[in-house]
Amino acid sequence: MPTTEEIPMASPIGRDTPRIDGPLKVSGTAHYASDFHFPGLLYAVPVEATIANGRIRQLDTTAAEKMPGVRAILHRANIGKIFRSSLGEGMEGICIERRPPLVDDVIRYYGQYVALAVADTFEAAKAAADAVRVTYDKNKPNVESQLKADDDPPVVATTYGTEKRLQSERGDAEAAFASAPVKLDQTYATPSETHNPIELQGTTAMWDGAKLTIYEESQAIFNMRSVLAQMFGLPQENVRVITKFVGSGFGSKLWPWTHCPLAAAAARKLGKPVKLVLSRKMMFQSVGHRAHTQQRVRLGATPEGKLVSLQQDYAYERSMLDDYHENCGEATSFQYSVPNLRVHFGRAKRNIGSPSDMRGPGAVPGLYATESAMNELADQLKIDPVQLRVLNEPKIDEGLKIPFSSRHYLECLQVGAEKFGWSQRNPEVGSMKRDGLTLGWGMAGAAWVAARFAAAANVELRDDGTARVACGTQDIGTGTYTILAQLTADKTGVPVDKVEVVLGDTSLPEGPVSGGSMATGSVVPAVFDAADNAAKSLMTLATTTAGSPFEKNEPDDLAFESGRVFVKANGPAGGIPFADILRRANVRFVTGSGESKATFEKKKPKFSTHSFGCHFVEVTWQPEIARLRVNRVVTVIDAGRIINPLAGRNQIEGAVVMGIGMALLEHTTYDPQNGAPINSNLADYIVAVNADAPSIDVHFLGYPDKVINPVGARGIGEIGLAGVAAAITAATYHATGVRVRALPIKIEDLLTSSILA
């Protein structure tokens, strides 16, 4: 494992670095999307459908239009043209709900917007929205939780390309399973989960002639620009998206939702800035959720524990119109060595708002099923679950038949077991006790894709010794501001606190999506390239400025390190600070631009690029009152070189707590009569809070992966969640003897435990 001694002490990379945006946030001076106010600002509140399946018969706006302060009640007949967007090249034009708002009278899910009230104040707009009367021709909605995939055609064209139902296959999995000496055949289910970031989604939109500017809490501002340009028939340069800060998103803010074009259309219609902020209830209906999944996993193995067959057949819910793909098989084909494998999926249409990406989409529910199955197989074979995974470690990615760029999964297991004290585990159910409580120990593995999006950046070196880095990405609360400052400081020698970071604006060089845990890995080469080009400009200036100590040198004779320019042959000792050169030349700053290409779109990659990890969990079980609690977690992550361990640990800790919510608490329930999310508030939709947070011990291996970028960094936002729920259910079984395969674990499940007082 790399040690800190191998990292140059002068470099800020790899050092615990407090977030440079922290003071702005804790002082209340950080401006989020709904914090911006403009002269003449109007407020908009959507009118929501109160059925999930049917058609609007009549929309009566008479009373609402007469209310004080109301500027307009917009609906299908008067809102103006909004076009449907289409998918472009790369990361352009992605929009989960492609149906433009108010385009027809058909209702496909509860909460679908049917009109928009606009008024001088929020209170007036809300009152007007409540006063709109809608009558419907209603049909019974389909929100059935039992998933059947019989409505899914053999090949499905999706937002992400063409998806075959047969996702991955090698060997003859069915025949190998039939002849396997040891078999496991179980079905696992995960519920609908709602993202619930603290910051509500919303849009502030304004027009200047044919130019549209919106303030939005977006995880992908350039994609949003592309979608809005299409929806309003504008050239992209006429659309500006600004996202300075995001109060978390977990994927719900990756792609545009229908409230955004509604706000823009209202601003166009009324010639005033318009602000539209969703309510918490609306956040459960119209801005995505994690899809409910059912997964049948069949494992065949030898008595010694070698896998001979793996079959994963999964189904997930989708909306009536949209094509979101919950890729539960993302990690299945490469996580373990197995000669015979088959991954197959299906979809089930439901009268719900469209599912969408939620932290670790696909892989998180997928690994819950496959890692749970591995734990059950280990118990069936009476093999330690860690040893079972060691026995089935692959040498290459057997799905793609290419080597891994970097894979240290076995070391994750070794380090995790040592840190947790796994050797002290007694595998007998209910056998471990402490302080009157029954202990349960469980573990699971984790994996997440690693890749790069395309990115561009600009770096300035200034005559006051400071630097500026600009990139049109966004910081969704993960520390991107600080990462960009660290990267720039590393290349220029300017201290982190002297680097100005500018992001969150489509007027800047095009930056990556903050999704897939790829933003950090994507910006590294772009920022480094920009800093190198700024240095080249600086050295040219140093050799062409009259009176410069380097006037007689050629640019190639010079080097730039630690903020100083020097002659290579003489070494840095005789170097001159770059600010001195700029002042001597009477130049305010030199600038450099850089860019990097995407890697995730390569059809024939040379390496399989992923991050890996594992989680060891201890639960406590109090049978007298059927109380289960996650008590401590040890997590080990192999995610390349960690640029900011302080922020990195925070990311993993947050993911683990989210995994506790997934395992024990979170589920969205739909009313079978009207299709409404029943628990559409933070009182009834239970999330993990501080009182639920256990002791969390996070370790990073720190092996650089130079295939991804020059620093060797991979993303870590999502892998910390993958596998956590499977480790918790394994620990729960070890403590209680109850095998839970449908999340979340409920008290009702545990009341069947034979280990009661």
**Residues catalogued as catalytic:** 718
**Cβ(642)–Cβ(716) below 8 Å:** yes
**Cβ(515)–Cβ(509) below 8 Å:** no
Query: φ, ψ for residue 281 (rounded to 5)?
Result: -60, -45
The two beta strands, 589-596 and 455-462, are: antiparallel
- DSSP strands (E only) in 159-216: 161-164, 166-170, 182-190, 202-208, 211-216
Query: φ, ψ for residue 221 (rounded to 5)?
Result: -70, -35
**Separation of alpha carbons 659 and 140, rounded Å:** 34
Q: Is the dihedral of CA 431, 435, 440, 441 positive or negative?
A: negative
**Separation of alpha carbons 722 and 318, rounded Å:** 22
User: Tokens at residue 631, please?
Assistant: 């008590």
DSSP 81-118: --PPP---SSSSS--S--SPTTSSSEE-STT-EEEEEE
3-state secondary structure 17-55: CCCCCHHHHHCCCCCCHHHCCCCCCEEEEEEECCCCCEE
Nearest to 524 by CA among 590, 561, 473: 473
**Cβ(177)–Cβ(233) below 8 Å:** no
Nearest to 45 by CA among 133, 110, 119: 119
Residue identified by tokens 């007949």 is 77
For the chain, what's the residue count? Answer: 757
C-alpha distance from residue 517 to each of 102, 219, 221 (Å): 34, 12, 16
**Separation of alpha carbons 363 and 722, rounded Å:** 7
Q: What angle do CA 702, 656, 638 make, to 5 degrees?
A: 20
User: Tokens at residue 531, please?
Assistant: 């800093």
Helix (H, G, I), strand (E, B) or coil at 18: coil
User: Tokens at residue 119, please?
Assistant: 């008024």
